Each structure stands twice: as C-alpha cells, then as structure tokens.
Amino acid sequence: MNKALRFLISSSLLLILAPLISGCNDSPATGPDSAQTDSQAPQKPQGRLFGASFQTLNNPFFVDLGEGLQKELEANGDELIILDAQFNSLKQKNDLSDLILKDVAGIFVNPVNWEGLKGSLLEAQRKKVPIIIVDAPVKEADEELIVCTVASDNVRAGKLAAEALAKVNPKAKLVVLHLSVNKACIDRVAGFKEAMQAYPDMEILDVQEAKGTTEGARPVMRDLIGRYPDLNAVFAINDPNALGVISALDSANKLDKVTIVTVDGSQAGIKAIQAGKLHSTSAQFPKEIGKIAAEKMLAHLKGEPVDKDVKVRVELITAENAEQHLEAD
Amino acid sequence: MKVVKQMVPLLAAIIILLLLFRIWVPSFLTPENMLNLTQQISVNTILALGMTLVILVGGIDLSVGAMVALVGTTTVYCLTALSGDTQNPFMLMTAILAGLGIAAVFGTFHGIAAAKTSMPPFIITLASMLIARGCALRFNGGLPMPIKDEQTWFLAIGNGRLFDVVPVPVVIMLSLFLLMALLLHRTRFGQHVYALGGNREAALYTGIPIVRVEIMVYLLCSLMAGVAGMIHTSQLYSAEPGSGEMFELTAIAAVVVGGTSFTGGRGTMFGTLLGAVIIGILDKGLNQAGVHYSLQYIVKGAVILVAVYLDVRRNR
C-alpha cells in the first residue's frame, strides 16, 4: 500500500503543479468557472469564456490567427482557450465536445476535415453554442449549423497573382504547384485561372501536386524544369512552396529566366521578394481574420445579424511595397 | 486477489484525478460530462484492448492507426458503391464485413510473419502501417469520403444512443472489453498468451501451439482496430484516408499505464481499461481546465513516465 500511496502523491503533485505553471500566463481557473455557475442566466456581457480549435498550431499562420482572436476577446474582457487538433479529426471532435460541455459562450473552429465536422456542429447546436469557422470553409450542407465563415478571399488572392504575372509577362508559359486537398488552395487556383482568361497568350503547361511545403516543391520543380524547356513562370500555392521552387531554379541556374508568383505574405516570402527571387505574393492577414471572427462572434451574441460568408482582404506584395509589410510585423 | 490489489493504485489515481479536476472545473463530474468521457475514450480503449494481447506476447502492432483509416475508407467505399442513396441491412453488413475482412488479412499476415520468421514485429507492422496507409490513400484520391445522410444505421454506430442514454460506441467498447477479458482470463487461449509472453522457449517445449496463438493474437488486434475504425468513421460522418495517425501510440500508452509489462507476460484487460480511462480523464480535464496546449503534452508525458516507473518498481 506504501507504493500505491507514493503513486497517488506523485500523480496529484503533477496535477497541482500544472495549473500553477499555466496560471502564470492565462489564469484559466477563476473567470470561466464563475461564468459557469450562472450559465442559466442570460449571457453576461463580459468575462465570458470562448474556445478555439485549430487543425494545427505548428504553423505561424494559425498562431497569428489565434493571437488576433485572443486580443480582440480580451479587449472585451473575455477569455479564450485555444486547442491544437494536431491534424487529428477525432481529437478535434473530442476537443470540441469538451468545450461545448464546458458551456463556453462560442467556439472558433478551423476544421481538420471540412467534411467531418457535422457531428460536432450538431452537438453544438443542441447545446446552443454558436460556431464560427475560420480560414477554411465547411461543406455547404453544414453551413446552416454555423454562424458564419471568416476566411481570406482566396479567389481574389489567385486573381492578384495572375494579374501580377501578366504585368511582367503576358505571354507566360507557366506551371502550377497545387495542394488540391485544401479548399483554400482550390479557390486560389480557380481565381488564378479566371483572371488568366483576360490574357489569351498565357498558357498553363502543367499542374502538379507539391504538398504546400518547401520540401515538397523542390523535387517537383526540378522535374518540371527538365520537362518544359520553354517554361518561364510559376504559380506556387503558398510561400513555402514558392521557396522550394526558388531553391530548385537556383540550383539549375534558371532563377533569372522564371517569374514566380504565390499567395501567403509570410516574412520569409517578403524577404525573398526583396532579394529579387520572388516576384509577388498575395498576402493574407491571419491576425485580421482572428480579429474579424471575434467581432462577428460578439455581434452575434448581442443578437445582431451577421453575414454568412465573410471574406478578409488580401493584398499584393511586390518589390515596391515589400519594405512596409516587413516592418508591419 | 493479487490482480485486484494491482488495480488499487490505478483506481485510486482515477478517483484523485476526478476529484482534482472537480475542484478545477465545477461541472466536471456531471453525468453528462462523464458519459461524454466514456464516449471519447471508446476508440482508444478498443485499440488498446487488442494492443494488450500483442504486447502480452512480447510483440507490438504499429499498424493499428493506419488500419483505422483503411477499414474506414474500405467500408464507406463499399457502402456507397453497393447501396447508393438507399439503406439496406444486407448491403450494410457486406460493407462492414469487407472492412473487417481487410483488417483480418493484415492481422493474419502479421501473425504468420511474426511467428514463422525472425523478423521483429516492430518492423513487420511498421512496414504494413505504410502499406495500409497507402491503400487507404488510394481511395478517392486521398480525399475524405462523406457518408450519405441516408445511411442512418451506419451513422448510428458512432453517434447513436442506446435507450437514448448510453452512446453506442460505449456499448460496443464495454462488450468488447468483457469479451476480451473472458478470452484472456478464462480460456486456455488466454493461458497460452501469458505462457508465450513469459517464456517463448518454455512455451514451445510445453507443447503450446505458438504459431496458432500468435496468429490469433495479431488477428484479434487488427480486428479491434477494424471496429475502432468503424466507430471513428461513423463519428466523423466521413472516412478520412489520413486519419488515425499516432493512434497506435495513444493505445500503447493506455496499455502500459494500465500495468502491462512491455516485455510481455504480465498485464490484464481491466488494467488496460483503467489506463485508457486515466488518459481520457487527463485529456478532457486539461482541455476543460483551459491548460495551454503546450503544457498538456508535458503533463501527459510526465504522467505516463511516472505511472510506468512506479509499475516497474512495484514488480521488480
């Protein structure tokens, strides 16, 4: 029994320690619990608890998005719990039901699987917890279960990229590096193709999957250079992809012959523009997505009507305005 | 009685964890939250039950996460292809049998390869994890496959409630637990499993059919992963070829926290159930207490280490 006792002591010590550490930065224990006890009463204007579940937090885009949410909610006197689904849709489902059963005032979800969220949405609806989807849409059939979707205007981001390319090379022979499992990327390519129709001399030689990562793009690009000798432009689906393209072209000594356009606006992308390796990136504003999503949630809780589909601005970054965007962060 | 005594620390840890989280999150012990806890642990528990058998014979099965994905995609593919928009019990059974059938093929292969060759189970199942994942990604170009709303029976596997109270996954989990506990603790097969894990050579010389036992063990583990895959798929309203990653590791964690020796020969199904409950309570409690996600990893890692360390000391 002595050993059993020891087990008890050490496990309880761990659990006492954990809140102490976490208490330093976000003091979770007090605010939410006091709101909990009178959850029957009408919504308190302040001091509410909100939840967020992101498909991953291992990407600066989502960390920024979370910051945007948190800042806006805290300015209103509310709190936010952010959970990391680690690209695991079952974990996301469990995380969401934990938040729902904790009676949070509202939840922000960035879905792992845009077709797999229905069970959670129904559960939230039963408990009358409003849900706002951020960054990527859910199935159209599920849209009635949510307050709204707040995401970058990805179609426009694609259009901006096509127009930027047309300005320097209206007869571009280009390849597209795609991530076709992702709805945001599907929209970007659709926007690109739409804008391309105004430039009949532009031609897409090939569309290839490149995983949306730097490592994914490098070998794909190397093969494409070999296959299409007249290739002179690339539309990469995001900044990491574009960086892989740059590295492949650089090692083939062809960087000066090819114009690269992309979507994202990360700091690494902007630096590549300044170095003259990347032509343009259609910047997204994750902090703004977070801020707007939080505003929509607060408006919804006040009973104000909210647009179903909220598009957040995107902006073209080229060598001309790269400097100011680098300073912004 | 010895078995009961071994469970005391685990039960005590569960009670303490529940009380601690109750202090922290006032609504933690509500029946609704507890019922939800049992539902949340169902997939991991079912995987861990199968994993317990494999670890008891001194093996390991890294493929269960990929199996969850493969069984899900196979079943939904067959279901959609066979029945279209209509519901038909015969077609549903066929689709489920197709899913479990593919799991059985993998499980049997693992068993034969582990028993008949000197390839380590770690490598065998690592390879078939990749193969199973690849097969799952062959369906629908690697994209999720939605389950039609008309398939209410299949959707009930993960989302339904028995008598409007107990979630169906929990009913399945408890039935499988009883089945596996009886199999391990009340049958000759169970005795053979312990003998094999305790000392393979000795088991061979006492005339235990080790090949048959080992095939059975890996087969059962894959079938458990198959059932878990059905529940998982139904809960998500879609089959996801990329899902189930790292599930094998959470299952292994539940098994070892539950007191099963990693070298085989010692452990119980009840211990595994308690291990899965402990991990489930930690997940839920830390989430609801609003602990930062980075700290959740650290706490869970530390709890696993402490639990296994104390277990190892106790049995030295």
Q: A49-151+286-310 with A154-284+320-324: one CATH topology?
A: yes
Q: Who's near B311: CB < 8 A, 6+ residues apart?
A: B256, B259
How confident is the model over B162-210, as pLDDT tens digits? 888 889 999 999 999 999 999 999 999 998 999 888 888 888 888 888 8
A22, A36, A57: residue with CB nearest B295 = A22
B149, B293, B300, B309: best mutation site toward chain A, by most A Cβ within 10 Å? B293
Cβ distance of A3 and B238 shorter than 8 Å: no
Cβ distance of B236 and A116 shorter than 8 Å: yes
Residues B83-93, mean pLDDT to the nearest whole number:
80
How confident is the model over A72-106, as pLDDT tens digits? 999 988 999 999 888 788 889 999 999 998 889 99
Decide if pLDDT at A142 tops 80: no
Report chain B's mean pLDDT, rounded to a whole number: 88
At B243, which amino acid appears? Answer: S
> B-chain residues within 8 Å CB-CB of A88?
243, 245-246
What CATH code would you report for A49-151+286-310? 3.40.50.2300
Domain boundaries, chain A: 49-151+286-310, 154-284+320-324
Residues B273-286, mean pLDDT to the nearest whole number:
91
User: Does residue A33 or residue B133 have the better pLDDT?
Assistant: B133
Decide if pLDDT at A296 tops 70: yes
For B255, the domain range is 1-315
B25, B237, B289: residue with CB nearest A118 = B237
Enter the pTM of the model: 0.78
How close does chain A come to B299, measured CA to CA in Å?
7
Decide if pLDDT at A38 tops 70: no
B45-49, B106-110, B192-196, B224-228: least confidently modelled range: B192-196
Cβ distance of B143 and A181 shorter than 8 Å: yes
> Distance between CA B100 and CA B109 in Å, rounded?
14
Per-residue pLDDT, A19: 46
Per-residue pLDDT, A291: 93
Handedness of CA A227, A233, A238, A244 (dihedral sign): positive
Q: Does A99 touch chain B (CB under 8 A)?
A: yes
Cβ distance of B291 and A95 shorter than 8 Å: no
- Helix boundaries (H) for B57-117: 64-83, 89-116
Cα dihedral B194, B195, B198, B202, rounded to 10, equals -170
Q: Residue B64's domain is classified under what CATH number?
A: 1.10.3470
User: Does residue B36 or residue B217 have the better pLDDT?
Assistant: B217
What's the structural domain count of chain B? 1
User: Does residue A155 or residue B244 have the better pLDDT?
Assistant: A155
Decide if pLDDT at A1 tops 50: no
Per-residue pLDDT, B242: 81
Of A173-182, B108-117, B157-166, the range with the highest mean pLDDT is B108-117
Q: Scanning every residue of chain B, which has its alpha carbon at the shortest distance from the alpha carbon of A94?
A: B40
What is the second-level CATH architecture of the domain A154-284+320-324?
3-Layer(aba) Sandwich (3.40)
Cβ distance of A22 and B303 shorter than 8 Å: no
Cβ distance of B17 and A16 shorter than 8 Å: no
Identify the three-state secondary structure at position A53. Answer: strand
Per-residue pLDDT, A191: 95
- If 0-12 CB within 10 Å is exposed, 13-18 middle and 19+ buried, where does residue A288 land? middle
Cβ distance of A139 and B146 shorter than 8 Å: yes
